[in-house]
Chain A
Amino acid sequence: MRSFESPSAANKLALSRLISEVENETSAGKAALDECFTRSGRAHLIGVTGAPGTGKSSLVNRLAQLIRREGKQTVAIVAIDPSSPFTGGAILGDRVRMRDLSGDPGVFIRSMASRGELGGLARATAGVVQVLDAAGYDLILIETVGAGQSEVDIARLAHTTIVVESPGMGDDIQAIKAGILEIADILVVNKADRPGIENTERALRANLELGYSHRVNGKAGHAGFTENNAAVEPKDWVPPVIKTIATEESGFPELIKAIADHRDYLQNSGLLAQRVRERLMDEFEHLLRHTLVQNWRAQTSTERVSQVMDAVFTRKRSPASAVEELTRSLN
C-alpha cells in the first residue's frame, strides 16, 4: 500500500478526484480511506432526510449559507439522489437549490447517485464523508435521497439527524408510525408559510408527547415527555420541532441553535463517543461480511455454484442447504 497524504480543503481538484476514487471503490480510493480515517473524526456530521419535495435541498442551502455568514465554520455538503434501477443512470439535481453557496471557498458540494443502495445513502457515502472530514471541513451536511418511511441509514452515519416534513404530508397516524420520525434528533416543518402547518406541527408534537424512544442505546426508553413535564430528565434530549421557510431565513437561527445544542448534548452526555463506536462497529461488520463473501467467491468455482443452484432451481434442494453445502469448505 502506498503512503497517501489526503488532500486538504485548499486543494479542491485533488479532493474532488479523491472523492471519485472513493466513490468508485478503486484500490487508490481504498488506500486513501485508510489514511483519511486516522485524520477524521473532527467534523460534525449532520444528516438531512425527509420525503421528496419537502425542501431538503433548499433547507441545506439556507442552513449552509447562514452558517457561513457567521463565518467561523467551513461546510461540506454531500447530496444523494437516486440512481435508476433500470439503467443505473441518475439526475443529480440538488445543486439547483444550492445556488446561494456558489463562489464561497468555504463550501464544497458533492452530488452522489445512490447506485442501487436502498437505505437513502450510497454505499460510498460514509467514505466520501470521511474524506471531507479529513480535509478539514467543520460541518458536513448529508442530504439523503428523498426518503419514505424506512430509509434510516442516515441515523447511523450522522451525529445529528434532521428530519424534514412539510404541511400536507399526512395525518397524525403517519406521525406515530415507526421509522423515519424515530430517527429525528431535530424535526423541521419546512414550508411553514403553507396552509396546514398547524396540523402538521400539532401531529408531530403530539407524537413526541407519547414518548421519545432513545435510539442510541437501542432500548425503547421513554422520556414520558410533555412540554412542561418535570418527569423529563434534564439530560434527555427531546427533539425540538422547528418551523422553517427555506426560501427565506425564517426559523433558521432556531435550527442552527438546535444543531449546536444537540452537538453539546451529545458531547456532554457521552453519547457522541457511543454513537461513533456503534457506527465503527457497524462499519466493521459490514466490511467483514463484504470481505467474507468476496473470499468465498474467490475460493468457489462458478461451476460448482451453478451445479448446486440447479438443484435449487429444480426444487431438489433448499437455498439454505445450498449455502450450507457451498460454505462447508470454509468451516
Chain B
Amino acid sequence: MADRKIRVLIAKPGLDGHDRGAKVIARALRDAGMEVIYTGLRQTPEMIAEAALQEDVDVIGMSILSGAHLVLVPKVIDTVRKSGLTDVGFFVGGIIPEEDVAVLKAAGVNAVYGPGTSTVTVIEDVKSFSRAA
C-alpha cells in the first residue's frame, strides 16, 4: 500500500531553550497522522536546511522565542531554498510582534502562530500547504 505521509520538520533555530511549544505542536501533528522529525534545541539555519533536505520534508515549522525571528527565519528559508528544496511550506510559532508577521510572510512563511493558537488550526494549515496535500 503506497501511503504518502506528510513529513514535517520541527526545529528550534537560535539560542532560546524553551521547547515546550515545539513539543506541543510536534505531538499534535503526530496525532494528526503526520511524521514529525524533531531536531532539538539550538539549530543553525544550515543544520535545519541539511535536515530538511535529507529528510525530504513537506513543511518546516520553526519555534522561536528569542526575538531573533527576523534574522533567523529568512536565513533558514534562503538556505533551504538554495539547497534545492523549493517547494516546502514554512510556519513559525512563538512570540512574534504583529508588525513582524507581514515581514515574515513576505520572506516566504505561510503562517505565523502566537500563544493561544489552536492546534486544530495548525494541523489544517500544515495539511493545506504541504506538497502531499
Contacts and interface: CB of A to CB of B under 8 A. Distances in A.
Interface in A78-114: 83-84, 87-93, 95-96, 99, 102-103, 108-111, 113
Contact of A96 (B2, B5, B31, B40): B40
B36 A89 contact: yes
Interface string A231-246: 0000000000000000
A215 interface: no
A91 B32 CA distance: 11
A91 B27 contact: yes
Interface stretch (B49-57, B68-76, B90-98): B49-57
B32 A89 contact: yes
Given A26-B2, A89-B33, A99 B53 contact: no
B5 A113 contact: yes
B70 to A, nearest CB: 24
A91 B36 contact: yes
A110 B1 CA distance: 21
B55 A16 contact: yes
A91 B56 contact: no
A110 B55 contact: yes
A111 B4 CA distance: 15
A95 B4 contact: no
B38 to A, nearest CB: 5
Interface residues of B, number: 30
Contacts of A89: 29-36
B84 A13 contact: yes
B56 A19 contact: yes
B5 A111 contact: no
A103 B47 contact: yes
A84 B35 CA distance: 10
Interface string B12-32: 000000000000001101111
Contacts of A84: 30-31, 33
B73 to A, nearest CB: 19
A250 interface: no
Which of B1, B5, B35, B36 has its CB near the most chain A CB atoms (within 10 A)? B35
Nearest to B1: A25
A7 to B, nearest CB: 12
A130 B105 CA distance: 40
A115 interface: yes
B3 A92 contact: no
A115 B7 CA distance: 13
Interface in A1-42: 12-13, 16-17, 19-20, 24-26
A160 B38 CA distance: 28
B50 A103 contact: yes
Contacts of B40: 93, 95-96, 99
Interface string A304-319: 0000000000000000
A16 B33 CA distance: 21
A123 B26 CA distance: 24
B85 interface: yes
B66 interface: no
Given A25-B2, A103-B47, A115-B3, A87 B32 contact: yes
Contact of A108 (B39, B54, B84): B54
Contacts of A87: 30-33
Contacts of A110: 54-55
Nearest to A113: B35
B54 to A, nearest CB: 6
Interface string A31-72: 000000000000000000000000000000000000000000
Which of A88, A96, A111 has its CB near the most chain B CB atoms (within 10 A)? A111
A60 B78 CA distance: 30
Nearest to A104: B50
A13 B35 contact: no
Interface of B: 1-5, 26-27, 29-40, 46-47, 50-51, 53-56, 83-85
21 contacts: A13-B84, A13-B85, A16-B53, A16-B54, A24-B2, A26-B2, A87-B30, A87-B31, A87-B33, A89-B29, A90-B35, A90-B36, A91-B30, A91-B36, A91-B38, A92-B36, A95-B37, A109-B51, A113-B5, A115-B3, A115-B5
**Ranked 5 nearest A-B pairs via Cβ:** A96-B40, A89-B30, A13-B84, A16-B56, A20-B56
